[in-house]
Each structure stands twice: as structure tokens, then as C-alpha cells.
Amino acid sequence: MAVDRLLPTDEARDLIQLTRDVADKVLAPIVDDHEKAETYPEGVFATLGEAGLLSLPYPEEWGGGGQPYEVYLQVLEEIAARWAAVAVAVSVHSLSCHPLMAFGTEEQQRRWLPEMLGGATIGAYSLSEPQAGSDAGALACKATAVDGGYRVSGSKAWITHGGIADFYNLFARTGEGSKGISCFLVPRDTAGLSFGKPEEKMGLHAVPTTSAHYDDAFVPDERRIGAEGQGLQIAFSALDSGRLGIAAVAVGLAQAALDAAVAYAQERTAFGRKIIDHQGLGFLLADMAAAVDSARATYLDAARRRDAGLPYSRNASVAKLVATDAAMKVTTDAVQVLGGYGYTRDFRVERYMREAKITQIFEGTNQIQRLVISRHLAG
């Protein structure tokens, strides 16, 4: 099918086509088995890396794809429409490269960025703790300054790609209060770093989410990103970009649910006609389509502001709020369109609905997005 999207360049159009080809060939045939068996799709991220799809919004000179954010997000949306767990992991990898790209020294960038952006290594973002999620400034994991670096002790929670990722953006306490948090880039094989068993989640079964435990782990000075105490600023700056990734994932999920619902409604008959021809159901589908289109418009608007160098934090929160609420509603309505069949695992809409729920929670719950938006309004 021709690419029916507004894209800034022919190169971007080719990229979307490439993404569809890779997603249809590599992701679509195996997604159901892995999601049901809760197994990690070995090799999938290497394939995406080889296709150049892992670090699209980063500069080419460092191994990235050099694409505008609006293009990267539409690629992410295409991946999410086939496999949300993989799209989330791609988004988190991109998020995890942001601190080094935006706050690292040139020496640090030269050393680590090419392998991170080239897809040779996968990254994770480790801000949350068991007792500090929304209130990230309350985190307790401690990094104590010692000769040549820091000794880290404490627990982190909910790490997407935990135990599998090669490097971890660790946010740990080096002082008091919200200005007492620092950011570190920690390799997986650091002595004293271990991971919990994967959480038993409602969805996103194929990519593990784990805790991490630091037991007097040594992290050298050269692995601190930014200044001591700058950690929370770095974390929030990365989240502005990451929230747009989650908005795009949510739209991909919602689009997939809408497509499945329309296809089903064109086949299924009741009371002597196709169910799509019953106005009550046709209008439900129309509302779903309107929700998908308007959600996409909000993330594209925020991305274009980002690409133009304008402030976009408020817009990113609006996009995350609108897109993920839309995804929850559209996927729930898709189950309704399929009736009893929608409630079974024989049809993907059941999975889409479970997966949509997490988009309203991670990278800042939608209550926290409202907090960000209202603080901007309050000036």
C-alpha cells in the first residue's frame, strides 16, 4: 500500500516504506508467539539496527539517522502498529541516548555514542525506584564520591529492557534535595550490579521490565554525564523527547485497533446487514478514526516545534496525554466492535487494549502530564 502520510522529504517516504517492509517481514510473523510465550525476540533489535531504524533522530556524524523528530516518530508509530513492545523498547533506547548526546562531553560522546547510535549496544533508562515514581526527586539510590569515581548502593525499579540492555542511564543521589541527583552511564557488566526477575505484566510481554540492584558498585568519574547535581534536569529533558515517543507508540496501537475493527465490521453481519452499515456502529468507528487522527496531529505538532528549535515541553505533555487516552479509548472500542470475539486471544484487539493501558502510566502518568501542562499555564 502506498505511504499515505504527509512527510517532509522523499527520503522520509522511503524510510516509512522500509519500516513497513521490515515490520511486515520480521515483526508481524512472530509477534503473537512471543507475546503469548512471553519470550524475548533475540535478533530483532540487531535487525532494526542494521536497517538504521534504532537511532533516527540523532546526527549522522555520531552514527544516527539524521532525521527530523517528526519522521522518527512516524517510523515508531509504524513499528508500534505491528508490535508495541518492540516500539517501546526502540523509544526507550532513543531516550537513553539523549543524556549523552545533549549533556555529555565531546570525549564521552566520541567514546560511546557511535556504538549506542549504531545499534551495536542497546540502552535503558533507570530513573524510577520502588518508592519514587511520579515523585522522581524523592529517589534514594545513593552514589557516594570516592577516589576516582562513585560507590553506588540502592535499588531502581521498572527498567524497560532491564538485564538485557548493554548500558543504563542511572539517576542516583549525590547530595540533598532535587539538586542532589546526578546522571551516570553504567555498563551492564559493572561489578555489584544485578537485576531482579522480570515483572509479570499486563502487556508488553516480549520485552522484560526488571528492577536493578546496586551493591557498592564502582562507577568511575568519566561515566558521570553532566555536572554533579544536574541529574534531574537531564532526566526531565530526556523525558520531554521520550514522551513524544510514547505518544507515537499509542497512535500506532490505536491505528492498528481501528484497522482491525473496520476490517471486522465490513465482514460481520447482524440483522441482515454488515455491522458497519448499522449507524450506531458506524458512528463508533467514526469517533475512533477522529481520535486517531487528532492524536497523531498533537504529536506531530509537538515534534515540529522540537525540530524548529522551539520550546515543546508543554506540547509533549499534551501529545502524551491526548494520544494515550485516545489509544485507551480506541482499543477498548475495538474490542466492543468485535463483540465476544474481541474478548478472546484469537484476535489482536485484546492485546492492543492491554498494551494501551501502560502508555497512560509510564514516562509520567497522565496525572503528571496534567501537572506539567497546568504549571506551564500558571507560568
Ligand X SMILES: Cc1cc2nc3c(=O)[nH]c(=O)nc-3n(C[C@H](O)[C@H](O)[C@H](O)COP(=O)(O)OP(=O)(O)OC[C@H]3O[C@@H](n4cnc5c(N)ncnc54)[C@H](O)[C@@H]3O)c2cc1C
Query: Residues interacting with ligand X, by CB under 6 A?
Result: 92, 125-128, 133-134, 158-160, 201, 204, 209, 358, 361-365, 367-368, 371
326's grid cell? 485516545
The residue (of 212 and 337) whose beta carbon lies closer to ligand X is 212
The residue (of 91 and 230) whose beta carbon lies closer to ligand X is 91
Determine the residue type at 19.
T
Contacting residues for 110 by C-beta, under 8 A, at least 6 apart: none
The residue (of 180 and 198) whose beta carbon lies closer to ligand X is 198
The residue (of 13 and 201) whose beta carbon lies closer to ligand X is 201
Taking the complex as a whole, how short is the minimal distance between the CB of residue 13 and ligand X, in angstroms? 31
Taking the complex as a whole, how short is the minimal distance between the CB of residue 187 and ligand X, in angstroms? 17
Taking the complex as a whole, how short is the minimal distance between the CB of residue 130 and ligand X, in angstroms? 8
- Scan for cell 526477575, then name that residue: 197
| CA–CA separation, 201 and 229 (whole Å) | 33
Task: Check if 363 is active-site.
Answer: yes
Task: Report helix, strand or coil for 115.
Answer: helix
Instruction: Output b/e per residue, 55-85; b: 16+ Cβ within 10 A.
Output: bbbbeeebbbbebbbbbbbbbbbbbbbbbbb
**Where does the chain have alpha helices with state H?**
10-22, 31-37, 44-50, 69-82, 84-103, 106-117, 231-267, 279-307, 313-337, 339-342, 349-359, 366-378
The residue (of 2 and 377) whose beta carbon lies closer to ligand X is 377
Taking the complex as a whole, how short is the minimal distance between the CB of residue 232 and ligand X, in angstroms? 13
Taking the complex as a whole, how short is the minimal distance between the CB of residue 368 and ligand X, in angstroms? 6
Nearest to 184 by CA among 108, 81, 290, 240: 108
The catalytic residue positions are 363
